[in-house]
Amino acid sequence: MRNSYKEIDLIELEVLYENLKSKGFSLDLTRGKPHEDQLDLSRSLNDPLDSFLYQGKDVRNYGELLGLSGCREIGSQLLDFPADNIVAGNNSSLLLMHQLLSFFYIDGGEETPWNKKDRVSFLCPSPGYDRHFRLCEEFSINMIPVSLTGIGPDIGSIKKVLEKDESIEGIWCVPRHSNPTGDIYSDEITLQLLDLAKKHNFKIFWDNAYSAHDFEESLNTPNIFQLSKNIQAEDHVIAFASTSKITYAGGGVGFVGMSSRNLDRFRPFYASTIISPDKVNQLRHINFFEKIDLKTHMASHANLIRPKFDLVEKVLSLQPYGEWTKPSGGYFVSYSSAPGLAREIVNLAKEAGLKLTSAGATYPYGIDSEDSNIRIAPTACNMEELESALEILVVCICLANLRKN
C-alpha cells in the first residue's frame, strides 16, 4: 500500500490497478459477519449442559412458547423492554420480523389484515438494511425511501409523506449504529416518530440489532419503551434484537419486544406457527451470561473489531474522494462517492477480486438514485486481508474518479 493516493495520476493508477488484478485476490467485504476470533469469544457456549432442567422443567421437551424466562431477561437487557414483554425465539430475529409481518398481513389482530387492504406502505430510512427491504418486497409492501440525518430519519420529509399517503403501516428503524450509516437516533427524533406513529396509526419496527455493539464511546439510544409509555404509544412499537453478533451469528437467540396488548394479540398467531423455541440453546445462553456479563463480553468484541474500523478510516483517508462515516459501533462504514460512481467502483473492485455489497442493495428495490452509496463491512476478514481489500478499494475509488474527469 502507498502512503498516499492523493497525488497519483491516471496512468500510474491504471498500472497499479492492473497489478492488483494480476494478484488473483479473492476477498469479500459484502456482509456484516463476525470473524472467527469473535465467535471464539463464546466458546464456552459449547460446554455440555450439566442439567437439562430449568425451573423444574426439561428444556429438551416441548413447551414455553415465549422462551425461557432467563433468556427473555437477556432480550430485556438488549431491548430495554420488560422481560414479560419479550419473546425469545430461535436463532434469527429476521424470522421474528417475518412472523410479525405475517401476523399483520394474515391475521391483523384487532385491525384489518394487510392482505385485505388495497395498498400497504412502509417508510424506509435509506440507505438501510437490505433484508428489511427484501421482506417488504415479499409482502408486496410499497417502500418509500426517507433520508437519514445522522441522528435518525428526516422527520420533515416523513411528515410530508404522511400528509398525502394514508397507506403507511410501518417504518423500519435501526436506531443504534444503523446499518450502514451508523446513525444513533436522538431522543427528540424518536419522540417525534412515536408521536407520528400514534397520530397516523403506523408501527415502528425498531430493529435494535446493534444495541450493545459499541467499539468507541457512543451516545445513548432512547429507551423507546419508556418514551412510548409516556405518550400512550406503546402499541406502535415492535422491537427486535438478537445475539447473532454477540454469541454465534448462525446459532444465537432472536428476540422481539412489544406492548402487553400487542403480545396478547400476537401470541395465538405465534402459537400456530411453532410449538416452542429451541430451549436447549436458550439454556446454553442463560448459563453463558451467568458466567460473563454482557458489557464485559461486548468489550472483548470491541477490542477485536475496533482496529478494523481504524484501518478503514486510515486507508480511506489516504485518498481525496467522497465522504464516509466514522461509526462508534456496529458493523459498517458507509461511503458516499460522487454521484454516478458507486456501481463503477463496485465493478472495478469485483474485477480485482474484491466483492463489495452490490451498489444499490442498501436501498428499497435496490435503487440508489444517486448511484453513490457503498457499504463497507470490514469485520469478516482478518487484518491482513482487510488491508489488501482496502488497497483495492481506494485504488478503484481513485480510478473511477480520475477516469471520469
Residue 152 and residue 204: Cα distance in Å, rounded?
13
Q: How far is the CB of 306 from a second copy (least distance, A)?
A: 20
Q: Does 34 bind a second copy (CB under 8 A)?
A: yes
Q: How many CB atoms lie within 10 A of CB 194?
A: 23
Q: Are the CB atoms for 78 and 225 separated by under 8 Å?
A: no
Q: 57: which residues sit within 8 A by CB, 6+ positions away?
A: 63, 64
Q: With binding defined as CB under 8 A, does residue 112 bind a second copy?
A: no
Stretch of 129-137, 288-296, 334-342, 352-360 contacting a second copy, by CB under 8 A: 129-137
Question: Could you give the CA distance from residue 182 to residue 131 in angstroms, rounded to a whole number?
Answer: 17
From the list 21-29, 30-38, 289-297, 335-343, the region that binds a second copy by CB under 8 A is 30-38
For a second copy, the binding residue among 63, 156, 339, 340 (CB under 8 A) is: 63
Q: Is 145 helix (H, G, I), strand (E, B) or coil?
A: strand
For residue 7, with 0-12 CB atoms within 10 Å meaning exposed, 13-18 middle and 19 or more buried, which class applies? Answer: exposed
- 304: contact with a second copy by CB under 8 A: no
Interacting residues with a second copy between 139 and 198 (CB under 8 A): 139-140
> Do β-strands 203-207 and 237-242 pair in parallel, antiparallel, or remain unpaired?
parallel
CB of 378 to a second copy, least distance (A): 16
- H/E element holding 356? strand 354-356
Q: Does 48 bind a second copy (CB under 8 A)?
A: yes
Q: How many residues bind a second copy (CB under 8 A)?
A: 53
Binding string, residues 246-275; x marks residues near a second copy by CB under 8 A: --xxxx-----------------x-xxxxx
Q: For residues 87-106, which are near a second copy according to CB under 8 A?
A: 90-92, 94-95, 98, 102, 105-106
Q: Which is nearer to a second copy, 105 or 225 (CB)?
A: 105
Torsion angles phi and psi, residue 207, rounded to 5: -90, 90
- Pick the binder of a second copy from 1, 19, 37, 61 (CB under 8 A): 61
Check residue 135 for interaction with a second copy (CB under 8 A): yes
Shorter beta-carbon distance to a second copy: residue 33 or 236:
33
Contact 339, 372 (CB under 8 A): yes
**CA–CA separation, 336 and 230 (whole Å):** 38
294 interacts with a second copy by CB under 8 A: no
Q: How far is the CB of 286 from a second copy (least distance, A)?
A: 14
Query: String of b and e for 21-50 (b: at least 16 CB within 10 Å)?
Result: eeeebebbbbebbbbeebbebbeebeeeee
Q: Where do contacts with a second copy occur on this chain (CB under 8 A)?
A: 31, 33-34, 36, 39, 42, 46-49, 52, 58-64, 90-92, 94-95, 98, 102, 105-107, 115, 131, 134-135, 137-140, 244, 248-251, 269, 271-281
